[in-house]
Amino acid sequence: KVYTALVENKEMKEMFGVLAVIQDITEMRKLENLRKEFVSNVSHELRTPLTSISGFVETLKKWTIINESDRMKILDIIEFETERLKRLINDILKLSEIENMKLIKEKTNIDVKKSISEVLYLIKPLAENKNIQLEINIGDNLKAIVGNIDWFQQIIMNLCENAVKYTVEGGKITIKATSYDEYLFISVKDTGVGIGKEDIPRIFERFYRVDKARSRQIGGTGLGLAIVKHIVMEFNGEIEVKSEVGKGSEFIVKLPYV
- Give the binding site for ligand ADP (CB under 6 A): 162-163, 165-166, 190, 192-195, 203, 208-211, 215, 220-226, 249
Nearest distance in Å: CB 209, ligand ADP: 3
The neighbour count for residue 225, using CB atoms within 10 Å, is: 22
The dihedral over CA atoms of 101, 252, 114, 124, expressed in degrees to the nearest 10, equals 110
**Cα four-point dihedral sign 147, 150, 156, 159:** negative
Question: Which residue, 147 or 220, has its beta carbon nearer to ligand ADP?
Answer: 220
Nearest distance in Å: CB 222, ligand ADP: 4
Question: Which residue, 54 or 96, has its beta carbon nearer to ligand ADP?
Answer: 96
What is the spatial distance between Cα 251 and Cα 197, in angstroms, rounded to a whole number? 14
Question: Which residue, 184 or 229, has its beta carbon nearer to ligand ADP?
Answer: 229
Question: Which residue, 72 or 218, has its beta carbon nearer to ligand ADP?
Answer: 218
Nearest distance in Å: CB 20, ligand ADP: 45
Question: Which residue, 8 or 244, has its beta carbon nearer to ligand ADP?
Answer: 244
What is the spatial distance between Cα 218 and Cα 161, in angstroms, rounded to a whole number? 11
Nearest distance in Å: CB 117, ligand ADP: 21
What is the spatial distance between Cα 214 and Cα 53, in angstroms, rounded to a whole number? 20
* Alpha helix (H) residue ranges in the chain: 26-62, 68-100, 112-129, 149-165, 212-217, 224-234
Nearest to 112 by CA among 185, 45, 26: 185
Question: Which residue, 46 or 60, has its beta carbon nearer to ligand ADP?
Answer: 46
Using only the alpha carbons of the chain, give its radius of gyration.
25
Nearest distance in Å: CB 174, ligand ADP: 12
Question: Which residue, 110 or 225, has its beta carbon nearer to ligand ADP?
Answer: 225
Identity (one letter) of the amino acid at 196?
G
What is the spatial distance between Cα 166 and Cα 230, in angstroms, rounded to a whole number? 22
Strands 248-256 and 183-190: antiparallel
Nearest distance in Å: CB 66, ligand ADP: 33
Helix (H, G, I), strand (E, B) or coil at 243: strand
Nearest distance in Å: CB 249, ligand ADP: 4
